[in-house]
Amino acid sequence: MKKLLSILLAAVLVAAALPFTAFAAEEGEALIISENGSYTIDISQTAPVDISGATATVTLDNAVINAAGRSAIFVKDNANVTFVLVGTSVIKGDANAYSCGIQVEHGSSVTFEGEGTLNVTGGRWGAAIGSYGTDINIPEEQRVQVGEITINSGNINAYAGARGAGIGSGYHVNGNKITINGGTIHAYGNDLGAGIGSGYGTSGGAIGVAAVGEYDAGTIIINGGEVYAASAWDQNYDFSDLTALRNSSTKGNWGAGIGGGYGSSASHIEINGGKVVATSASGGAAIGTGRGTSKKDQYNPNAYVCNIKIGGNADVTAVTADLKDDDNFGGAAIGTGRGCHTGGTIEITGSAKVVAINASLSPAIGSTKKVSPVDGAVPAAESITIGDGVTLYAVSAGDYAVDKDAAALSINDAFFGSSDRWFFGEDKVAIADVASVKAESQKGEMVYNNLPQGSVSLWANIKSATPAPEPTPEPVAPKGNLKIVAPLAMALRFEDGSVYYSGDSVEVELNKEYKFQMCTVDWTTRSVNGEKKIHKPYETFYPEDTAWIHTNHGVYSDDNVGLRGSVVYRVTLLPEAGRNTYDAENKAFTLHKGDYTLRTDNNKCFMAYRFYYDENYDGNAVESMEGRVTTGIDHVLYDIGSDHTNTLDDFRYTKPLASLSINLPLGATVTAKEYIDDVFEKETQILVTIDEENPDLCYKNFYWRYA
């Protein structure tokens, strides 16, 4: 009843053109979406989801679904679903049950969009995204059991279940159509499945199943994005190290990186753009078919096909190797796998850039050179075409890098023997490292410097499908807590623009020099008559608890609020205990462990100016001038009527001060203004300096004098 209610509710919401947040009908039961519309599956939805017959947009918003006994999400009954990725979603099938992470039934289709991340894992005999399969042979007309898969954007990490492909089909079933137009995709096969394509097809020794070659990867088209595909996600599988690649477990590696799983064909692979990196070992091609067989009676030469087209502006890197202690005939980097009779058809045209590396004795492009179990002959490609506009780098440990035995070979003669473009097997080559290929031959060591390093750095040290270990953090510099002591109504401006006041503290690195300048704050931003204005509480580290020392003072900023001195001071905190010092010549404070207090409240860093009028001002007695002469300082004290650029007009005093003693930063040039009866009379430029005659004094007197 609740399940039906959820369906009805969905229909009502869709009719109202409103988004719908999915929920399960009963705890543990599948949510059923069967009406057209928009839905959101988020972290609250933990039960599996069935999308049946609907044309739906489903947002995966940090969804987490771990299915039990089935696929986590099942798209069926001719449904057409667009998944929009938001945040990071984790979708897992059941490793102990035939299942997928996201199962797409034949006749249905899925499209992935958005900028989020999807980590999706297949269950037993199933792809991460696609279909699961069976351990029995099924009629040919029933072998396509997966729908169409399109990826337009998003970050997708697809980890196959046992015998499945990362993206594609499962065990003993065919692939259908996979189109990748964008996004960043990492796809890993598992237990003989391909990274992208088909799962385990069949082996030469199997009974009651189709012959090698009869299962197929389907159509794989890559038009853009970044695609990284491997035939395994073994813990010890290091994709950037050919030695580790060859020494990896045989389990899981017999499929192609892109194409067929073990025993499967690759009838249509088309790469028109994007960056593509594919790896394989143990007989599977990096791009092409999976490993074949050693048993003639279990092989179908008419069905085993390989067709690969690379063109446009595609940037392709394909790397393959074979087993340690084997005869070292592996599959091609681009072409067919070991145990076949053909190298298929390969066409590389346009402005494609191709790096193909084979660490086995087979060519990088073409066919394996292991004697075929079908006719006892050395396999050769049916046709290889390489256009003149292609940038090609191919290298093999075998006799030649491109299959020169191909029945039809169309390649410009300029490619042959030109070691800066590709190596044509002048001697057998030992390849030790993908990222920096060195060819050890009878002619000596040849290093291929023109190898496009960015293409061959096989996805940045990822060694397995489990999350890569966090990088070793950079050493953290030791730090200390610098405490600031400044004179009243003054501040310190550091080189990075940060401003600190007396009582502030800031965490800084030890042994690092910091530069600062002294500043006078704007007094008119202090509190006035108890009304709170823009201000900073003034504090000191002195023990006295007196009201005047803990009063409010103004602020300093770089937009003419306050006044900055020109003298640059330096301060360094040291980790060792010692006596704090000040170098007057270099204006440098050195503070030691135990007392990281920067004391600028002395005449090393400021001078207190006292403004007076002369005893016989303008010929008048002192008494006659009392209260009539006042002083203002630009950017510090203003009267409302004077010209200034400060933006805090609302906080100005109405007139300058008659009795003024003000702390000013050394090196600053101060514009002091005189007013008589609130009328501007004169301004004077004052350079703030230490009193050379009395260097121990922290104040200077200034007199307004008129004849």
Mean pLDDT computed over 378-390: 90
Give percent of the chain with pLDDT exceeding 90: 39
Mean pLDDT computed over 23-29: 52
Structure-model confidence comparison of residues 424 and 336, the more confident one: 336
Q: What is the mean pLDDT of the chain?
A: 78
Mean pLDDT computed over 658-670: 83
- What is the predicted pLDDT for the residue at 459? 27
Q: Do residues 588 and 633 share a domain?
A: no
DSSP state of 103: E
Domain membership flag for residue 110: no
Q: Do residues 130 and 277 share a domain?
A: yes
Q: What is the CATH number of the domain that holds 640?
A: 2.60.40
Among 384, 323, 398, 377, CA closest to 354 = 384
Domain membership flag for residue 424: no
pLDDT (tens digit, 9 = 90+) per residue, 689-700? 887 787 777 788
**Structural domain range at position 146:** 125-301+311-339
Mean pLDDT computed over 675-703: 81
Which residues, 6 or more positions from 80, have their beta carbon under 8 angstroms from its beta carbon? 54, 55, 56, 108, 109
- What is the predicted pLDDT for the residue at 555? 80
**Per-residue confidence at 33, pLDDT binned at 50, 70, 90?**
very high
Q: Do residues 590 and 620 share a domain?
A: no
Tell me the three-class secondary structure of 125-177, residue by residue: CECCEECECCCCCCCHHHCECECEEEECCCEEEEECCCCCCCEECCCCCECCE
Structure-model confidence comparison of residues 549 and 688, the more confident one: 688
Structure-model confidence comparison of residues 625 and 406, the more confident one: 406
Mean pLDDT computed over 631-654: 56
Does the pLDDT of residue 677 top 90, yes or no? no
**Per-residue confidence at 427, pLDDT binned at 50, 70, 90?**
very low
Q: Do residues 537 and 674 share a domain?
A: no
Within 10 angstroms of residue 383's Cβ, the number of other Cβ atoms is: 16
Structure-model confidence comparison of residues 673 and 262, the more confident one: 262
Does the pLDDT of residue 146 top 60, yes or no? yes
- What is the predicted pLDDT for the residue at 603? 73
Q: Do residues 561 and 651 share a domain?
A: no
Q: Do residues 323 and 239 share a domain?
A: yes
Q: Do residues 541 and 569 share a domain?
A: yes
- Going along 545-659, which residue ranges are E strands? 552-553, 563-564, 569-577, 581-583, 588-593, 597-599, 606-613, 629-633
DSSP state of 643: -
pLDDT (tens digit, 9 = 90+) per residue, 457-492? 222 222 223 333 455 666 778 999 999 988 888 889
Tell which of 576, 599, 622 closes a domain. Answer: 599
Q: Do residues 570 and 677 share a domain?
A: no
- What is the predicted pLDDT for the residue at 684? 86
Structure-model confidence comparison of residues 602 and 271, the more confident one: 271
Kindly report which listed range (37-51, 495-509, 548-562) carries the lowest average pLDDT score: 548-562
Give percent of the chain with pLDDT exceeding 70: 73
- What is the predicted pLDDT for the residue at 498? 92
Q: Do residues 625 and 578 share a domain?
A: no
SS3 521: coil
Domain membership flag for residue 93: no
Domain membership flag for residue 179: yes
- The torsion angles phi and psi of 668, rounded to 5 degrees, stand at -80, 145
SS3 10: helix
Mean pLDDT computed over 625-631: 71
Does the pLDDT of residue 430 top 70, yes or no? no
Query: Could you tell me the pTM of the whole model?
Result: 0.61
Structure-model confidence comparison of residues 634 and 332, the more confident one: 332
Q: Do residues 190 and 243 share a domain?
A: yes
Q: Do residues 193 and 334 share a domain?
A: yes
Tell which of 575, 599, 623 closes a domain. Answer: 599
Our count of domains for the chain comes to 3
pLDDT (tens digit, 9 = 90+) per residue, 56-81? 999 999 999 999 999 999 999 999 99
SS3 598: strand
Domain membership flag for residue 656: yes
Tell which of 544, 568, 599 closes a domain. Answer: 599
Does the pLDDT of residue 2 top 50, yes or no? no
Q: Do residues 553 and 686 share a domain?
A: no
pLDDT (tens digit, 9 = 90+) per residue, 301-360? 888 999 999 999 999 988 887 765 567 788 999 999 998 988 899 999 999 988 888 877
pLDDT (tens digit, 9 = 90+) per residue, 154-189? 999 999 999 999 999 999 889 999 999 999 999 989
Domain membership flag for residue 527: yes
Mean pLDDT computed over 246-272: 83
- What is the predicted pLDDT for the residue at 706? 57
Domain membership flag for residue 258: yes
Domain membership flag for residue 288: yes
- Tell me how far CA of residue 575 lies from CA of 505, 508, 510, 581, in angstroms: 17, 12, 6, 14
- What is the predicted pLDDT for the residue at 592? 94
